[in-house]
Structure 1
Amino acid sequence: MKRDLKIAFFGSSIVSAYWNGAATYYRGIVKALHKMGHEVTFYEPDIYERQKHRDIEDPEWCKVVVYPEDKVSLQALLREASEADVIIKASGVGAFDDFLEDAVVQLKKDDNLIIFWDVDAPATLDRIESDPSDPFNALVPRYDFVLTYGGGQPVIDAYERNGAKRCIPIYNALDTDTHFPVEPQKEFDGTLAFLGNRLPDREKRVEEFFIKPAQNLSEEKFLLGGSGWGDKSMPKNIKYLGHVYTKDHNAFNCTPKAVLNISRDSMAKYGFSPATRVFEAAGAGACLITDYWKGIETFFEPGKEILVANSGEEVEMILAGLTSEKAKQIGDAAYKKVLSAHTYEHRAELLESVISEKLKAETKPVE
């Protein structure tokens, strides 16, 4: 008989995607777990003005607890969370991360599971492997699981090399309730669109794969969405939109001829790390062009369901030969693939099976 679980989740934010690329991922996973009968409480700090830039109100599919940036409040919430069957600390909460990583481990009991969920595994692994004195090194072996939203075998090997009992990728996916094909909107009309916040280990790749092609294809219209690009020098044929709210992502993906995915340096290095945007775009039926990263074919068939570019020049070549009919064929194929294999229901089923198996083993009476 399936056991419905109480899950406590400490993460960056589930109600706001403002400077928070993990929001869509959290929503998809938690919503799918709720549909399966599990009860999730999501704890998030009130920082970075995220509460002023909410995409959603408190959802019916989980309890959201927003706490002030102080340890006294957090300690009270940890006591509350200690009653859960599963207690999750995500990476990149943004406030008291070191404290939380240790405090959650202290909540381990015989009948619960303690999980570290790394939404930026390449960055975490680079950090701890370059600094043996990093306090997280000693905590890794104390978690029952390390879950990651990407990385494949290279990340699994790296985490287990650093003491993880078990590392399991729970990849990004499509939230079919949120991302789907819609009618085009004139404000998003263009040849190529890119959506992503300005980050140090992404910027050079954006210059190569997006800004340089825009400079060389001056007659075409390019769209740039995301926070932090306002003072970036760019050609006049790039329309900068600023932060694009989740409710507008479908039109942003559906309207232009093609949508570009650009990996961060760390994600490209480890591979097997499809960004949330990849599945959002596929779920809207977009024709997706991506920079190359190892493991693409695990998720989509290159040339048929996704187009792959190894340089800015290849982006230009793809756009030069891309007709509207061809773009639609690729978008339709990607849409079919993501529905059949890459929804958050698929990911939550994997997560549920892993957790249930472990809890059953831990609570089995000794004969």
Structure 2
Amino acid sequence: MKETPLDIVVLGLSLSSSWGNGHATTFRALLRSLAARGHRILFLERDVPWYAAHRDMPAPDFCRLEFYPDLQALQDQWSEAVENADAVIVGSYVPQGVAVGEWAQRTARGITAFYDIDTPVTLAKLRQGDTEYLSPELIPGYDLYLSFTGGPTLELLMQRYGSPAARPLYCSVDAEAYQPQEVPKRWDLSYLGTYSPDRQPVLERLLLEPARQAPDLRFVVAGPQYPAEIVWPDNVERLDHVPPSEHPAFYSASRYTLNVTRADMVAAGYSPSVRLFEAAACGAPVISDIWNGIETVLRPGEEIVLAEDAEDVLSVLRAPGAECRERMAQAARRRILAEHTAGHRAAELEAHLQEAMRRKAPAPGSSWAKPFPAVTEMQRELP
């Protein structure tokens, strides 16, 4: 338990609904682990009909979740909480995110941070003049930029956009919720992900084309929002939505699962998907598209298979014996549990917040100043 628990307000896309987004599972795992470390968390979520109709966690037991109907209600009802928080974290894709960020920076007496679960997409938007949820002017005002993407992108955020501190905060996995299950193998290759136009060509190349060439093998694509005009091969099963509670069984029923990365994230590199961590934690061998930095997450050939085309995929699926597949799956699971659980991320976030608090700490005797434990304590070994 912390000597001084932090009061943290998070304004994120969604915590209540995992439908059509990867943010909810990321926030759930991270915030659950932060709460376990003693921190008090308030999550503020815009009440929108598409998530309201698909809420699979309306009342989390690890934080307080509140909904607001619009920007004015957010400001009217939650200004005091934002003002008094030790840290206020605004997430990417929050509706009216620029106005929300301006209000948070103007109101908060503690530190403010931007948690970008979509960093390469965000930067592509900024280059195009698209300020849907973040503007260039807002970045220097955040004390901390928490980035889904590591590598050279961090320097870009600081040098070109003026972030005082850009730090990596990859997605993670809830190691208790995502474990291998003893279920029959239903599919030779699975894919779990919401439809995205820039991912679809890769899905076509690495799953649909192999399915056409191998009618004796079984495939599945799970996730919402796929256009009705897509023609699915007969041996590709479609599941519109798999809730997080069923992810472990889904992955465990797959001989292999496919990781597909959005184009902007491939270009930036160092952008591992939450699905990559979750699948590996469930003991599903992963076949992935290729991007810079993937070797820093899982070792190609030992912990993950990298594929460029249908022939690469089919050579793996047709390989005889299960020994090699199981060895790779177990190696990947060990790596993820050693480096990429929500517990690891919570410790990293804690350290980043404390670093930002030290930079912003007012002079001794200021009424705002709060004591907080040293970073060495924050970064102690996980149990």
* Deviation of 1:37 (Å): 0.5
Cα distance in 2 for partners of 1:247, 1:307 equals 26
Find the counterpart in structure 2 of residue 14 from structure 1: 15
Find the counterpart in structure 2 of residue 101 from structure 1: 101
Cα distance in 2 for partners of 1:61, 1:35 equals 8
* Deviation of 1:254 (Å): 0.8
1:254 is aligned with what amino acid? S
Map 1:197-212 onto structure 2 (within 5 A): 197-212=194-209
Cα distance in 2 for partners of 1:133, 1:14 equals 23
RMSD: 1.9
Find the counterpart in structure 1 of residue 168 from structure 2: 169
- Which deviates more, 305-314 or 24-33? 305-314
Find the counterpart in structure 2 of residue 192 from structure 1: 189
Which secondary structure state, in structure 1, belongs to the residue aligned with residue 56 of structure 2?
coil
Which secondary structure state, in structure 1, belongs to the residue aligned with residue 84 of structure 2?
coil
Cα distance in 2 for partners of 1:140, 1:322 equals 52
Listed one character per residue, the Cα deviations across residues 23-78 of structure 1 (whole Å, up to 9, x for unaligned) are 1110111011101110110111121421221222411110000222x222121244
Q: TM-score normalized by structure 1?
A: 0.93
Cα distance in 2 for partners of 1:128, 1:354 equals 25
Listed one character per residue, the Cα deviations across residues 295-339 of structure 1 (whole Å, up to 9, x for unaligned) are 111111111111111223211222222632222111111111111
Find the counterpart in structure 1 of residue 376 from structure 2: none
8 Å CA contact 1:272, 1:294 repeated in 2: yes
Listed one character per residue, the Cα deviations across residues 213-264 of structure 1 (whole Å, up to 9, x for unaligned) are 1111111010110002261212111000111111110011111210000111
Find the counterpart in structure 2 of residue 72 from structure 1: 72
* Deviation of 1:132 (Å): 9.0
Listed one character per residue, the Cα deviations across residues 142-161 of structure 1 (whole Å, up to 9, x for unaligned) are 11011012x21222022112
2:345 is aligned with what amino acid? R
1:273 is aligned with what amino acid? S
- Which deviates more, 317-326 or 191-200? 317-326
Cα separation, partners in 2 of 1:77 and 1:283, compared to 1, 3 Å: farther
Find the counterpart in structure 1 of residue 42 from structure 2: 41
Q: 1:359 aligns with which of 357, 360, 371?
A: 357
Whether 1:226 and 2:193 are equivalent positions in the alignment is: no
Find the counterpart in structure 2 of residue 343 from structure 1: 341
Cα separation, partners in 2 of 1:136 and 1:322, compared to 1, 3 Å: farther
Structure 2: runs of 5+ lacking an equivalent: 366-383
Find the counterpart in structure 1 of residue 64 from structure 2: 63
- Which deviates more, 42-51 or 273-282? 42-51
Find the counterpart in structure 2 of residue 86 from structure 1: 87
Cα distance in 2 for partners of 1:167, 1:323 equals 45
Cα separation, partners in 2 of 1:101 and 1:28, compared to 1, 3 Å: same
Cα distance in 2 for partners of 1:114, 1:162 equals 16
Whether 1:261 and 2:262 are equivalent positions in the alignment is: no
Cα separation, partners in 2 of 1:299 and 1:77, compared to 1, 3 Å: farther
Aligned length: 360
2:36 is aligned with what amino acid? K
- Which deviates more, 241-250 or 50-59? 50-59
1:347 is aligned with what amino acid? R
Cα distance in 2 for partners of 1:48, 1:316 equals 41
2:335 is aligned with what amino acid? K
Which secondary structure state, in structure 2, belongs to the residue aligned with residue 33 of structure 1?
helix
Cα separation, partners in 2 of 1:201 and 1:322, compared to 1, 3 Å: farther
Cα distance in 1 for partners of 2:330, 2:314 equals 22
8 Å CA contact 1:230, 1:240 repeated in 2: no
Cα separation, partners in 2 of 1:98 and 1:253, compared to 1, 3 Å: same
Which secondary structure state, in structure 1, belongs to the residue aligned with residue 318 of structure 2?
helix
Cα distance in 1 for partners of 2:364, 2:71 equals 39
Q: TM-score normalized by structure 2?
A: 0.89
Which secondary structure state, in structure 2, belongs to the residue aligned with residue 10 of structure 1?
strand
Identity %: 31
Cα distance in 2 for partners of 1:136, 1:307 equals 38
Q: 1:331 aligns with which of 306, 315, 329?
A: 329
Cα separation, partners in 2 of 1:133 and 1:174, compared to 1, 3 Å: closer
Cα distance in 2 for partners of 1:98, 1:322 equals 53
Cα distance in 2 for partners of 1:275, 1:55 equals 21
1:260 is aligned with what amino acid? L
8 Å CA contact 2:82, 2:104 repeated in 1: no
- Which deviates more, 306-315 or 322-331? 322-331
8 Å CA contact 1:78, 1:104 repeated in 2: no
Map 1:269-288 onto structure 2 (within 5 A): 269-288=267-286
Which secondary structure state, in structure 1, belongs to the residue aligned with residue 327 of structure 2?
helix
Which secondary structure state, in structure 2, belongs to the residue aligned with residue 65 of structure 1?
strand
Cα separation, partners in 2 of 1:100 and 1:305, compared to 1, 3 Å: same
Whether 1:141 and 2:140 are equivalent positions in the alignment is: yes
8 Å CA contact 1:230, 1:242 repeated in 2: no
Structure 1: runs of 5+ lacking an equivalent: none
8 Å CA contact 2:270, 2:292 repeated in 1: yes
1:205 is aligned with what amino acid? V
Cα distance in 1 for partners of 2:233, 2:102 equals 47
8 Å CA contact 1:172, 1:274 repeated in 2: yes
Cα separation, partners in 2 of 1:162 and 1:235, compared to 1, 3 Å: same
Cα distance in 2 for partners of 1:358, 1:165 equals 9
